Amino acid sequence: MSIIVYSKPACVQCTATTRALDAKGISYDVVDLTEDTTALTRVTEMGYRQAPVVEANGEHWSGFRPDMIARLAS
């Protein structure tokens, strides 16, 4: 399973998301939206305007979503 967390610096919800993934032992890659314009374009095209955006198993969501993270762990 490939999980990407599109993030930005000093983002409280981004930190909460990665901490929750870490706590559940779920591996992921972080992409900094302030440094990767291609990733920023992709996230914008998906319709998101806030970070984090998590992409996993063909699904994606924005914000800190413990419910969605729990689904990844099961």
The pTM for the full model equals: 0.94
Residue 41: half-sphere exposure toward Cβ, Cα within 13 Å: 3
What gap in Å lies between CA 64 and CA 16, rounded to an integer?
7
| Tens-level pLDDT at each residue, the chain (74 residues) | 799 999 999 999 999 999 999 999 999 999 999 999 999 999 999 999 999 999 998 899 999 999 999 999 87
Res 42: pLDDT: 94
